Amino acid sequence: MRVQERCLLAIFAHPDDESFGCGGTLARYAAEGCQVHLATATRGEAGEIAAGVHASSANIAEVRETELRCACSALGIQPPHLLGYIDGQLTIVHQGQAVAKLVRLIRELKPHVVLTFAPDGVYGHYDHIAVHRWTTIAVKLAADPACFPDADGCQPHQVSKLYYTVLPEEAGDRTTAADEDAAVMMDGVPFPLVTWKREQITTWIDIKAYAAAKWAAIRCHATQVGPQPDDAAQEFIGDGREPFVLAQSRVGWAEAVEDDLFARIG
Ligand SMILES: [Zn+2]
């Protein structure tokens, strides 16, 4: 398969999820000529607004959508496919409709590789966990010749590989005291980051050449990182590699650690 025919679809919950976890990988595959798409379930309207950024509760959805489009541009990927849900409400929306939206998108774009959250939702964020569930179900149903939900004239599509974006066990080490667990505050409560051990990580993608693109995408999300992001945000660049876990494969499993999401595809 020619590289231009390769298609990757990342499916996340909020503007910024695409940049922090796997922005370097998205930028790398786009730069190599693959079609790289992003589906984002919400416009992030429940997010906090960093000091020094011109946004308010009245326009936060518009501002964060603009930030997301800025990030896609910085990463060199296609403009986002917005699913149109409200931040913080993904567990209470009509689950069948949400899955159907993803089934249709997968059949339209025909990605070989799909990326989404692991079941842990990074730190147990309910929206992240919902998107994980929707995506894993949609990948299965998109290949179903019974054609849920498009009874008329649908073309099933089989995704070759489904990956989870994950945090390695050293995530947060550089910004967190030794006796503290790295955590994200939700409703005033620290939700610990869920990390994966080295031996659980199936795939490392070298993003050193794309660290600048990733950093540019992170900086687009000014409501989240502030107008002048500090060293803590640099943590997301890490050691120049991004980890993934291969969760489903129709093209076999590598014996060694992979360095390419498209390994063994065509
Ligand atoms: Zn998120």
CA of 142 to the centre of ligand 1 (A): 24
Q: Are 237 and 21 in contact (CB under 8 A)?
A: no
pLDDT, average across residues 163-178: 78
Taking only the tens place, the pLDDT of each residue in 50-109 is 988 888 989 999 999 999 999 999 999 999 999 999 999 999 999 999 999 999 999 999
CA of 147 to the centre of ligand 1 (A): 30
CA of 153 to the centre of ligand 1 (A): 35
Taking only the tens place, the pLDDT of each residue in 178-223 is 556 789 888 889 999 999 999 999 999 999 999 999 999 999 999 9
| Maximal CA-CA distance, the chain | 58
CA of 16 to the centre of ligand 1 (A): 7
CA of 124 to the centre of ligand 1 (A): 10
CA of 13 to the centre of ligand 1 (A): 5
User: What contacts 70, CB < 8 A, 6 or more positions away?
Assistant: 217, 220
CA of 128 to the centre of ligand 1 (A): 6
CA of 14 to the centre of ligand 1 (A): 5
Backbone angles phi and psi of 172, in degrees to 5: 90, -10
CA of 112 to the centre of ligand 1 (A): 24
What SS3 string covers 197-210? CHHHCCEEEECHHH
What SS3 string covers 125-157? CHHHHHHHHHHHHHHHHHCCCCCCCCCCCCCCC
Query: In the chain, what are the domains?
Result: 3-168+197-249 (3.40.50.10320)
CA of 80 to the centre of ligand 1 (A): 15
pTM of the predicted structure, to 2 decimals: 0.95
> What's the pLDDT at 175?
55
> What's the pLDDT at 237?
77
CA of 146 to the centre of ligand 1 (A): 33
CA of 1 to the centre of ligand 1 (A): 33
How many residues are present in the chain? 266
> What's the pLDDT at 174?
55
> What's the pLDDT at 236?
75
> What's the pLDDT at 180?
67
CA of 221 to the centre of ligand 1 (A): 12
More confident of the two residues 179 and 236: 236
CA of 117 to the centre of ligand 1 (A): 9
Strands 7-12 and 203-206: unpaired
